[in-house]
Amino acid sequence: MGSASSSRQETFAAALLDPDHAIPDGLLTPDGRPAGKRFGIYRNNVTVSLVNALSEVFPTVQNLVGEDFFRAMARLYVQDTPPASRLLFEYGASFPDFIERFEPAADLPFLPEVARLERLWLDSFHAADAAPLDGAVLQRVAPEQLASLTFVRHPATRLLRAQHAAVTIMARDRAGEPLDGLDPFVAEDGLITRPAYDPEIRHLPTGGADFVGLLIEGHTLGEAAGAALSADPGFNLPAAISAIIQAGAFSKVLFEGMEVS
């Protein structure tokens, strides 16, 4: 019984998202008439709502390719990827990967990374709240202990390592600034944090993504600093520490597993 019910649900879901799929057998209106026309209207409304949700999550991607192209691409994604959650804002997590495989967008190789950045912005926006690390805590740590410190990532902190200028593209687009003169093939790394109400995106200097990335993974301050200095011998460690505190990238600092307060 359960297997048959599950099979009917899967058939209904498949038909709901694919306009080429046959309308499931046995659908009736409350007065017992065939519900094919109603189902068609409902199917279109569901698809449109999901496409609209994607356009709200990825506005810069839509601006880069145009609304018609975006909505056509989004419709194909909807057919390929049904929602896995009742929460609409969670939909589209794999859309950047879909764009990367989408042949008609192949001449815009920076597009998937722009999409990933927009998705990270949304994930940061919806992340749990936590008090950011108070920089005064570090002043209470003995100098000989600094290299052994580890940091606890703030729930809203995200990191993007990109081969293209995704950070600048998104920042300019959302500010309503033109992209004239921008070289999209310049690699950029970005740090997304939420120090107040809305997420903020910061460019990271050479070595910055190595530094922040290792701290997020739980490596010590000494290990993260060493990696950053290997990437760029001129890496400014004091400025980097000040920047991550100002950005609210971390919520706690630990020494030998114990929180420093």
What is this structure's pTM? Answer: 0.83
DSSP label at residue 79:
H
Q: What is the pLDDT of residues 172-199, one digit of tens each?
A: 999 999 999 999 999 999 999 999 889 9
Per-residue pLDDT, 29: 47
Per-residue pLDDT, 44: 58
Residue 13 has pLDDT above 70, yes or no: no
Q: Please state the domain extents for the chain.
A: 1-108, 129-261
pLDDT over 70 percentage in the chain = 83
Q: What is the pLDDT of residues 217-252, one digit of tens each?
A: 999 999 999 999 999 999 999 999 999 999 999 999
Q: What is the pLDDT of residues 87-127, one digit of tens each?
A: 888 899 999 999 999 999 999 999 999 999 999 999 999 99
What is the b/e burial string over 141-171, where b = at least 16 CB atoms within 10 angstroms of the residue's CB? eeeeebeebbbbbbebbbbbebebbbbbbbb
Between 38-42, 51-55, 102-106, 167-171, the lowest mean confidence (pLDDT) is in 38-42
CB 193 within 8 A of CB 124: yes
Q: How confident is the model at residue 2 (pLDDT cuts 50, 70, 90)?
A: very low
Per-residue pLDDT, 207: 97
Cα–Cα distances in angstroms (integers) from residue 239 to residues 53, 148, 204, 208, 212, in the given order:
39, 19, 12, 11, 13
Rounded CA separation 72/77 (Å) = 9
Topology of the domain comprising 129-261: Outer Surface Protein A; domain 3 (3.90.930)
